[in-house]
Amino acid sequence: MPASKFAKLRDARVLLLGGTSGIGFATAEASIEAGAIVTIASSTQDRLSSALSKLKSAYPEAAAANKIHGHICDLSQPESLEANLKALLEFATNNNTHKLDHIAYTAANVPRLPGLVDYQASAIKESILILRYDAPIILGKLAPAYMNQDPRSSITFTGASTATKPTPGRGILTALGASTEGVAKGLAVDLAPIRVNVVAPGTVDTELLRALAGPDPKVQAGFKEMLKKVTLLNKVGEPEDVAEAYIYLMKDANVTGAVIHTDGGRLVK
């Protein structure tokens, strides 16, 4: 058996949008540990610089081998979205001289939506739709020109368990998660042989989760306890656990158009 048979990410080129915190940062760590050449992207220079510093400090050998990179990419403005994504892809591929093998999209924001009785036609803000709908589509439009055209290449988007099991009182959020799954399945057909999949996390202990609870540590703790109770495992997910789903989807060249759930058993409780 060849020594490299399962070392599928060794020297693979991986681009992570939203790779400076939470699940994205953990996926960057996992990719580096698997031997990949990693580029992370963020809309904020401070967050990007901080994440790069942490990664290079934690993985000095990868840093010395020039395997850790970062680039600014603002996904929030429709008029510059396509140009910004193209600039990122140019950077990650050294002006398209080194094709990408994998892209993981974990960019997210906090979707503060009203309940059904208070919903108005304009309730879903443009910024939410850009990040969760427009940006994935434009990425799917541009990325193939910068990727190896092979089933070993993949794009992985981030959905949510609420797309399958709505939360009472917050059922409108189901539409956002379902839209990501729809985009990914459509792109899986249009971009083949490049594989396109979705990771659908449940509740994960990230900066976004703490932002939902607010700044009070006691409130955050109570919020987490409440969220634990809706899972079979009685736990909130950790980014390093959920990151494994992205790594799996990069490595399994036989899966496309799929949704991988990592939610502590929320769907079966």
Q: Which CATH architecture has domain 13-204+239-268?
A: 3-Layer(aba) Sandwich (3.40)
Q: Output the tens digit of pLDDT for each of the chain's 269 residues.
A: 455 789 999 999 999 999 999 999 999 999 999 999 999 999 999 999 999 999 999 999 999 999 999 999 999 899 999 999 999 999 999 999 999 999 999 987 666 777 788 778 776 677 678 888 999 999 999 999 999 999 999 999 999 998 999 888 777 888 888 999 999 999 999 999 999 999 999 999 988 777 777 788 888 888 889 899 999 999 999 999 999 999 999 999 999 999 999 999 999 99
Q: What residue ranges do the domains of the chain occupy?
A: 13-204+239-268
Beta-sheet strand order (sheet of 195-201):
68-72, 37-42, 13-17, 102-105, 154-158, 195-201, 259-262
- pTM recorded for the entire structure: 0.93
Q: Angle 204-31-5 (CA atoms, 0-180°, nearest 5)?
A: 125
